[in-house]
Amino acid sequence: MSEQDDLARELVAEVREQLDPLDADLMTLEASPQGPSASAAIARVFRTIHSLKGTCGFLGFARLEALTHVGESLLMLLRDGERVPTPARVDALLQLVDAVRGFLDRIEATGGEGEEGCDALRSRLEALAELDPAVDARAAGAADAASLDADTPAPPTVAASTGAGAAPAPAITPASVDADPGDALPTPVTETTPADRASPPPPSAPPAVAEDGATPLAAARSTIRVDVQLLDTLMNLVSELVLARNQILQNTDRHEKQALTAASQRLNLITTELQAGVMQTRMQPIDQVWSHLPRVVRDIARSRGKLVRVVMEGRETELDKTIIEAIKDPLTHIVRNAVDHGIEDAFDRDVAGKPSSGTLRLRAFHDGGQVIVEVTDDGAGIDLARVREKAVARLGRRPAEVARMSDRELLQLVFEPGFSTAEAVTNVSGRGVGMDVVRTNIERIGGTVDLQSTPGEGTEVRFKIPLTLAIIPALLVNCGAHRFAVPQASLLELVLLDLSDPAAFERVAGAPVYRLRGALLPLVSLAAVLGLEHDDPLAGGTREGVAHIVVVQADEQRFGLVVNDVLDTQEIVVKPLSHHLKGLGCYAGATIMGDGEVALILDNLGLAERAGLTSDVQTAAADEQGPAATDARREGFLLLGVADHTVAVRLPDVARLETFSVTSIERTMDGEVVQYRGDILPLARVDARLGLPRKTAAPGPNVRVVVCRSEHGNVGLVVDTILDVVEEHVESRRTTRRPGLAGSAVLQGRVIDLLDLPALFSLAA
């Protein structure tokens, strides 16, 4: 690559970072042309365009230089007060920013700026710069008078940044859910005469604004530009180091040399810290995706004649750069759909007793090793009656089947290919393409999508996505002579299946099912689906021995994966599959085990599809089991052994089950702690907190820890044994005043004490 190409690449990388703040500055200017932040916004835009013009001249990009020169001339007049920032001028400057993006795309793709010179836009900018100053004076006076009118409606698009402690907004998004993510945004403003250019836009196309007048990315950062390929190389090297670490730990377990054990544990600690550090270099704030959304909302709101304000919370939440790129299109699609269909126009909102300006809220936060991204609006919500109608008309569902669906099940139909509730096709939505693509793209990165809507109040779309895709926790299983990895993000529980029991499993609609705590669970034999040379435990013939059911969740579908043996949990390095294997659909990647062998990572959704697990099977199972599956009062508990007692903790409070080496436990003035996932995990020994006598047997080399969630972070409960997971309808409870206990309940026919986690955490502190 030549030096000129290197400079051009640097230009593209640098200018792209500067363009998103320009959108925010210009929308601030459009909403408040005479406001206190207007002059600062103009100055920032002028400096950026001036710098870009000089760089383009140096590199010989004459067309881009000529375009930015005209824009710079107009900005200079605005900066010096010789022209007024009318909506027409601001709209032309926004088009200038879009044109610069187009030039950058061509430079990045071909190394040249192309033949297009944007003559029409240049002429428009020149005409707006030469407009009679007297007309500007009248426009400025009109703007000042309008600013004093208390009845002036709120501006359409507001970008606000709030802290994590802000009150949550009412949940919402699209009333009519669909949209083609490939459609281009509308061009909201046209212009014919100088008089038209000087006039504000009609009420049907209101302007957009930044609520706090500050640019989202204005804060300067002390950074160094690093090539993405270098970060990928470092990540690959760290991944190889993690694999070597796993091999050493596996071999160390076979020896009892104390020095070797201590060295391997030290290596484990250093590798974990290095892995966290390198992964941190790949992390980017979600604002990298959010920063362009106010402009998207502004353009659609103008074209639809709506008033919309955008509120952002948690824009500093960080994700891996691969995840950032993967969620960009789905998130943009949801936002476009919300503004186009979810939020009503000002008249309909007034009739409904709502504020004229709708609210679109974006919220991101970390939760249990994942990132939650919520998109909510206070629009009309989804009409469930219309969903039922379209489910029959467009999806071919039976009326009886649709009639017995719950509201949640109906909302899930929105994600079906071809589904749309739009009355008419627009340039944004209405074709029934989009929501299924959104779900597919999110699930491809190991995430999930949830949709909730209240008619008349709004809709919420929630993404639950992993922090990174490079290294993930997984469960290792055996099937015949092969090992496979199941990502823990989709793992629900493990069940031991006694094949010698004639009632071990049943068949419904020809498919094997297992009655798990009264509910029928569809079963999939891994050996049968993958065509392995091994006896299928679910096939006919003599049943003997045991098998394991790995209960997983895939796209709102729960099923049991039948394997021969469950090995261990381990953090694995995800290696992509070659293009020859990607079409199989049953594998999400591969990993190298501690002994050097390769294990394939299973794709649960692909397995379900290959096994023919359809909604008809699940519907038949639901009909067969009757009301047993509708008992919403059943509760899940984790049973633990502490001293000579059995205690229980509610499953929703449990984050993970871990085993730590005794030597990894450290002591602070506040008590015992362990370094855990880049953080410090406080430990609470349950027997000591409850005042129970410890067992007299010599302690082992490891301790079992239940990592539980609390409002102040995670806390590890040190227990003797982890006994079982139960889900029961709790018929009888008894309260107690003993510190650390919430009372007792009858579980599995026994009276078992229930832990009071807040009290235990308080005792631990």
| Selected residue with higher pLDDT from 327 and 60 | 327
Residue 254 is predicted with a pLDDT of: 62
The label of the residue with tokens 């007299």 reads 696
| Selected residue with higher pLDDT from 735 and 356 | 356
Among 100-104, 205-209, 496-500, 587-591, the minimum mean pLDDT is found in 205-209
Residue 27: how many other CB atoms lie within 10 Å: 29
Residue 612 is predicted with a pLDDT of: 75
Would you say the pTM of this structure is higher than 0.75?
no
pLDDT at 366 over 70: yes
Q: Determine contact, residues 198/88, Cβ cutoff 8 Å.
A: yes
Among 411-425, 515-529, 667-681, the minimum mean pLDDT is found in 411-425
pLDDT at 624 over 90: no
Residue 202 is predicted with a pLDDT of: 34
Residue 424 tokens, joined: 């008419």
Q: Determine contact, residues 506/360, Cβ cutoff 8 Å.
A: no
Residue 550 is predicted with a pLDDT of: 92
Which pLDDT band holds residue 378 (cuts at 50, 70, 90)?
very high
| Selected residue with higher pLDDT from 418 and 327 | 327
* 515-545: pLDDT as tens digits: 887 778 888 888 888 888 666 777 655 456 7
Which pLDDT band holds residue 556 (cuts at 50, 70, 90)?
low
Residue spans per domain, the chain: 3-149, 228-283, 285-466, 471-630, 635-764
Find the mean pLDDT for residues 607-614.
75
CATH superfamily of 3-149: HPT domain (1.20.120.160)
Residue 763 is predicted with a pLDDT of: 52
Mean pLDDT over the full length of the chain? 75
Q: Do 471-630 and 635-764 show the same overall fold?
A: yes
d(CA 416, CA 436): 6
Q: Where are the alpha helices (DSSP H) in 168-305?
A: 194-198, 228-252, 258-281, 287-290, 293-304
Which pLDDT band holds residue 748 (cuts at 50, 70, 90)?
confident
Residue 130 is predicted with a pLDDT of: 82
Q: Determine contact, residues 402/381, Cβ cutoff 8 Å.
A: no
Any long-range contacts for 103-109 (C-beta under 8 Å, 24+ apart)?
A: 103/61, 103/63, 103/64, 103/67, 104/11, 104/12, 104/15, 104/16, 107/8, 107/11, 107/12, 107/61, 108/9, 108/12
Find the mean pLDDT for residues 250-260.
68
User: CA end-to-end span of the chain, whole Å?
Assistant: 60
Among 341-355, 544-558, 618-632, the minimum mean pLDDT is found in 618-632
* 431-455: pLDDT as tens digits: 444 688 888 888 777 778 888 898 8
d(CA 230, CA 299): 37
Residue 169 is predicted with a pLDDT of: 37
Residue 732 is predicted with a pLDDT of: 64
CATH class of 471-630: mainly beta
Tell me phi and psi for residue 708, to 5 degrees.
Answer: -115, 150
Residue 758 is predicted with a pLDDT of: 82
Residue 22 is predicted with a pLDDT of: 83
* 717-745: pLDDT as tens digits: 999 988 888 877 776 677 777 888 888 88
Residue 483 tokens, joined: 């090992």
Residue 543 is predicted with a pLDDT of: 58
CATH superfamily of 228-283: Histidine kinase  CheA-like, homodimeric domain (1.10.287.560)
Find the mean pLDDT for residues 108-117.
76
| Selected residue with higher pLDDT from 630 and 697 | 697
Q: Determine contact, residues 604/486, Cβ cutoff 8 Å.
A: yes
The label of the residue with tokens 């936060």 reads 365
CATH-assigned architecture of domain 635-764 = Beta Barrel (2.40)
| Type of residue numbered 720 | D
Which pLDDT band holds residue 310 (cuts at 50, 70, 90)?
very high
d(CA 589, CA 517): 33
d(CA 455, CA 439): 22
* 217-244: pLDDT as tens digits: 333 345 666 777 777 778 778 877 877 7
pLDDT at 569 over 90: no
Task: Render 530-596 in DSSP notation, one character per residue.
Answer: HT-SS--TTSSS---SEEEEEEEEETTEEEEEEESEEEEEEEEE-BPPPTTTGGGSSEEEEEE-TTS
> Between 38-59 and 62-79, two packed helices, what is the crossing angle to 10 degrees?
160
Task: Render 269-302 in DSSP notation, one character per residue.
Answer: HHHHHHHHHHHHHTEEETHHHHTTHHHHHHHHHH
Residue 225 is predicted with a pLDDT of: 67
Find the mean pLDDT for residues 353-363.
92
The yes or no reply on domain 285-466 and CATH 3.30.565.10 is yes
d(CA 288, CA 311): 16
Find the mean pLDDT for residues 613-633.
49
Identify which of 54-63, 201-210, 241-250, 701-710 has the greatest average pLDDT: 701-710
Q: Determine contact, residues 414/435, Cβ cutoff 8 Å.
A: yes
